[in-house]
């Protein structure tokens, strides 16, 4: 039975989410699920919100976003307190296992403290996604599946009402970028391996979504043409302002040789004439190369917030409207629906 909230309405019963995609035969269930459609709706909605923005612009920070940024600061401090150890193997420093154990032991309390009082009981569900978003402690690797866990963590917070729609820009520019920077620090500090077949499902070895949201940023009032993001002078000028260019700068730091050789997929993107076309093309690529791969989706968790319930017949996949006018003047992609209070799995 659901408990009653202060207003007499049934109180949502949250659950510990489980991995439910067990074989390739389950992938069609995933592709027709509410979670799959909500995920693409969330990515599209964020794309629209981030058009024309800059990473370093001043924003009024929502309290939950500000608290979560302090949580990421705490996890970075744990990494400073857990330096890599000397070992024969070049990659996969075993100190990451110690860091991950510390992170996991503190996360439930950290996330509970972040959530508003009426939502604190959701921590047992949303925390599972959070703990899963920093890499695998056994393999000491990180990939697009771990990034997806953080995207789902953000989705959960929007769906339960911890974030509001007006918080999208702050979530994208500040919280998501802070997560990406922490993930990069972990990758470098602990020499983490790319998950999967050495990054074959990603534009670089580790990330994908920053390229989607970064190209959306540039679809309105872009200071650079699509062919210019590989040029050193533009990387130096815009790496701190623009998510996409920051990703290119990071690749240049961690890889040697010619860009067209070590990052051929990104190199080919520079020939596409419009940033809006790059963004929509990357979303399609994400569907094909990440969301359609069983080795990624087998690790996805489903609970009462993000479910495998079948989508209503006739529902179309959301697509962002980009490059025409700023978000506030355009019809918005519908927000992912909140689940009704008291509705269990």
Q: What is the pLDDT averaged over residues 322-327?
A: 63
pLDDT at residue 336 is higher than 60:
no
Tokens of 132: 């899963």
CB of 91 closer than 8 Å to CB of 191: yes
> Full-prediction pTM beyond 0.85?
yes
* Secondary structure class of 223 (helix, strand, coil): coil
Residue with tokens 């979303």: 283
pLDDT at residue 165 is higher than 80:
yes
Residue 324: the pLDDT is 64
Q: What is the pLDDT averaged over residues 215-235?
A: 92
d(CA 305, CA 224): 39
d(CA 105, CA 13): 24
Q: What is the pLDDT averaged over residues 317-323?
A: 89
Going from the N-terminus, what domains does the chain have, and what CATH number goes with each? 21-302 (1.20.120.1150)
Q: What is the pLDDT averaged over residues 7-19?
A: 80
Q: Of all residues in the chain, what percent carry a pLDDT higher than 70?
A: 87
pLDDT at residue 36 is higher than 90:
yes
Taking CB atoms within 8 Å and a gap of at least 24, the contacts of 113-118 are 113/67, 114/64, 114/67, 114/68, 114/71, 114/162, 115/64, 115/162, 116/64, 116/162, 118/5, 118/6
User: In 3D, which of 277, 345, 288 has the Cα closest to residue 317?
Assistant: 288
Tokens of 87: 């070992």
Contacts of 241 (CB under 8 A, 6+ apart): 54, 55, 56
CB of 42 closer than 8 Å to CB of 158: yes
């Amino acid at each position: 039975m659901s408990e009653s909230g202060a207003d007499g309405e049934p109180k949502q019963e949250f659950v510990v989410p489980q991995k439910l995609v067990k074989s390739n035969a389950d992938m069609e269930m995933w592709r027709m699920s509410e979670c799959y459609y909500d995920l693409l709706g969330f990515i599209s909605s964020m794309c629209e919100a981030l058009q024309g923005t800059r990473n370093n612009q001043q924003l009024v920070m929502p309290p939950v976003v500000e608290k979560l940024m302090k949580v990421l600061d705490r996890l970075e401090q744990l990494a400073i307190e857990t330096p890599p150890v000397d070992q024969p193997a070049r990659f996969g420093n075993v100190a990451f296992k110690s860091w991950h154990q510390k992170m996991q032991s503190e996360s439930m309390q950290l996330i509970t403290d972040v959530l508003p009082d009426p939502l604190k009981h959701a921590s047992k569900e949303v925390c599972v996604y959070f703990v899963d978003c920093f890499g695998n402690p056994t393999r000491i690797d990180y990939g697009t599946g771990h990034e997806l866990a953080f995207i789902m963590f953000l989705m959960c917070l929007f769906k339960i009402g911890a974030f509001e729609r007006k918080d999208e820009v702050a979530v994208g520019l500040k919280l998501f970028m802070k997560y990406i920077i922490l993930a990069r620090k972990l990758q470098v500090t602990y020499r983490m391996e790319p998950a999967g077949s050495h990054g074959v499902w990603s534009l670089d070895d580790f990330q994908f979504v920053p390229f989607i949201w970064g190209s959306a940023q540039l679809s309105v009032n872009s200071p650079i043409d699509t062919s210019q993001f590989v040029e050193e002078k533009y990387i130096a000028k815009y790496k701190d302002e623009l998510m996409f260019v920051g990703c290119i700068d990071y690749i240049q730091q961690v890889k040697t040789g010619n860009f067209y050789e070590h990052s051929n997929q990104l190199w080919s993107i520079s020939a596409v004439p419009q940033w809006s076309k790059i963004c929509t093309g990357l979303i399609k690529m994400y569907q094909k190369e990440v969301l359609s791969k069983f080795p990624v989706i087998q690790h996805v968790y489903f609970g009462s917030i993000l479910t495998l319930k079948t989508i209503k017949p006739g529902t179309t996949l959301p697509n962002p409207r980009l490059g025409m006018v700023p978000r506030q003047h355009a019809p918005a992609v519908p927000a992912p629906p909140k689940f009704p209070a008291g509705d269990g799995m």
